[in-house]
Amino acid sequence: MPAQPSPGHSDSHQTAARAEFRWALFVVGVIGLLLCIIAFTSLHWVLMPTQRVETVNPATLHLVGEFTEENLGSAVEPDGSVTVRIVGQQYTFMPPCILVPDKTPVRFRVTSADVIHGFIIADTNVNVMLEPGYISNFQATFRKPAMHVMPCHEFCGVGHAGMWARVKVIDKADFFRQAQNRRRLSCVQ
Ligand SMILES: [Cu+2]
């Protein structure tokens, strides 16, 4: 004699079917939400102005433009702001010792002559990548006189571990006094 279904069998079948349906609805809802997020972010992206990207030819950095050797280091601009230009290359930063004033906004303009390098100033929130062909442009203000190390933190080849520089923050008045006599400043001895 075949086994009879227990009295509660059709009930539990319906319960399972309802649970399956609820989970299916939930999954469809999650997929729908993800599609909405994709649509919204795509439209948002298209409607925003393009990012400001500055390019430079890494093959002629040392010959023409703002990254020639005599332009590297810290400079006081006509409006009194400070700009530092640096080139990263296997396996050094030029200049290897960067002189900046404290309590002054400092604009960094940095690029790479060869491969991707990392640019980080220890004990600050300065942390960017240097990509050949592009100019990394950012601003930082240093609170007080200090010496910071600036190691390359993006693996760039066999000499990577030895690729680092220093950032020397000095008193604002002292910096601007030195800048009166020299067009470009650095703390390279
Ligand atoms: Cu490196």
Total residues belonging to the chain: 189
Q: Would you tell me how many other CB atoms lie within 10 Å of the CB of residue 74? A: 24
Residues 114 and 175 in one domain: yes
Distance 165 CA to ligand 1 centre (A): 11
Q: How confident is the prediction for the chain on average, in pLDDT? A: 90
Locate tokens 């940095």: which residue? Answer: 110
Average pLDDT over residues 109-122: 94
How many whole angstroms separate alpha carbon 87 and alpha carbon 69? 9
Residues 109 and 73 in one domain: yes
Residues 67 and 146 in one domain: yes
Residues 35 and 92 in one domain: no
Which range marks the domain in which residue 42 is found?
9-48
Distance 54 CA to ligand 1 centre (A): 22
In tens, the pLDDT along 64-114 reads: 889 999 899 999 988 888 999 999 999 999 999 999 999 999 999 999 999
Distance 34 CA to ligand 1 centre (A): 38
How many whole angstroms separate alpha carbon 119 and alpha carbon 33? 38
The domain total for the chain is 2
Please report the pLDDT score of residue 166 as a whole number.
95
Residues 94 and 33 in one domain: no
- Global pTM? 0.73
Distance 52 CA to ligand 1 centre (A): 26
Cα–Cα nearest to 107, from 142, 147, 58: 142
Neighbours of ion ligand 1 (CB under 5 A): 152, 156, 160, 163
Residues 37 and 81 in one domain: no
The CA R_g of the chain, rounded to the nearest whole Å, is 29
Residues 81 and 110 in one domain: yes
Residue pair 127/120 in contact (Cβ under 8 Å)? The answer is yes
Distance 89 CA to ligand 1 centre (A): 8
Task: Pinpoint the alpha helices (H) of the chain.
Answer: 9-47, 172-181
Q: Is the pLDDT of residue 2 over 60?
A: no
Residues 41 and 111 in one domain: no
